[in-house]
Amino acid sequence: MTQSSTGGPAPSYVDPTKASIARVYDAALGGKDNYEIDRATVAKLRTVAPEIEQFTVDHRAFLIRATRFLAGTAGITQFLDCGSGLPTAENTHQAAQRLQPDARVVYVDNDPTVIAHGRALLEDNESTLFSPADIFTPAAVLEDPAIRRLLDFSQPIALFQLGTLHHYDDPARSPQSIMESYVDALPSGSYVVIAHFFDSEDGDADSELARRLEDVFVHSPMGSGRFRTRAEIEGMFPGLEMVEPGIELCVRWWPDGPPPPSPAPAQRCIVGGIGRKP
């Protein structure tokens, strides 16, 4: 019987033969809601980039700093977190509600493990909601009556796509087109936050590492993980005004302290940015 990292059996809604994006991130962050197949994926990534855990930590830290900026400096009180993943030490609603106690937060994810844990976490918080929708089908999210009841789409909203779009690779529709649909639905004054795997395409060691990591992600039991160029990522902020410093390495985007003088190679393969809708 497949067991979690805590030794318990996999529940009936978990397929232990397939790695889950949310559980792989959980394993890389040292969490307990993952299985051998997820830990094996992290181990394989570690053979390519030994510092892969820091890569994941930087991504999570960027989420928290972005939330603080939006709830504090920007005064945003509505958050739509797409592909929220498994609960961890500090979540979007906790970071936002610390600065804006009346902030309303909707999490969207269709991973069965995330749905189970997310609903349990938010059970006693009336200002939060969990929606089990497909984040790559904007209409399913934007037309969800429960989301519309909690969020007022006539007032600014912060939309998060953190660590999500690089797991989308459908030739039928581009990630840029998906983001156009989301941005069109947001009112003026809204913000979009994206973190994405990055390939500098400079022909240097960083670009080579990006290609090797992508190969592991795509051919792992998880089956996805595209490293895209700056131009491709910029296209995911259609018509938005970028907040300084624009698209930047996650570890260097408004760090809490001095940024590392020389980020590790894997840290140079993930970027983040925030755009504002005029």
CA distances, 26 to each of 42, 176, 196 (Å): 10, 27, 17
Check pLDDT > 90 for residue 14.
Answer: no
| pLDDT tens, position by position, 225-268 | 999 999 999 999 999 999 999 999 999 999 877 766 789 999 99
Q: What is the pTM of this model?
A: 0.89
Q: CA 185, CA 20: separation in Å to the nearest integer?
A: 29
State the fold for domain 52-276.
Rossmann fold (3.40.50)
Give the model's pLDDT for residue 3. Answer: 45
pLDDT at 13: 53
pLDDT at 237: 98
Q: List C-alpha distances in Å: 175 to 85, 106, 119, 179, 248.
A: 19, 21, 27, 6, 19
Contact 174, 207 (CB under 8 A): no
Query: In the chain, where are the structural domains located?
Result: 52-276
- Closest to 46 in 3D by CA, of 252, 231, 264, 274: 264
H-helix segments, the chain = 21-28, 36-48, 52-71, 92-99, 112-122, 138-142, 145-150, 175-185, 205-219, 230-234
Hunting for tokens 């976490």 — which residue is that? Answer: 121
pLDDT at 31: 82
Q: What is the pLDDT of residue 88?
A: 66
The per-residue pLDDT for range 42-90, each reduced to its tens digit, is 999 999 988 888 888 898 899 999 999 999 999 999 999 999 777 666 7
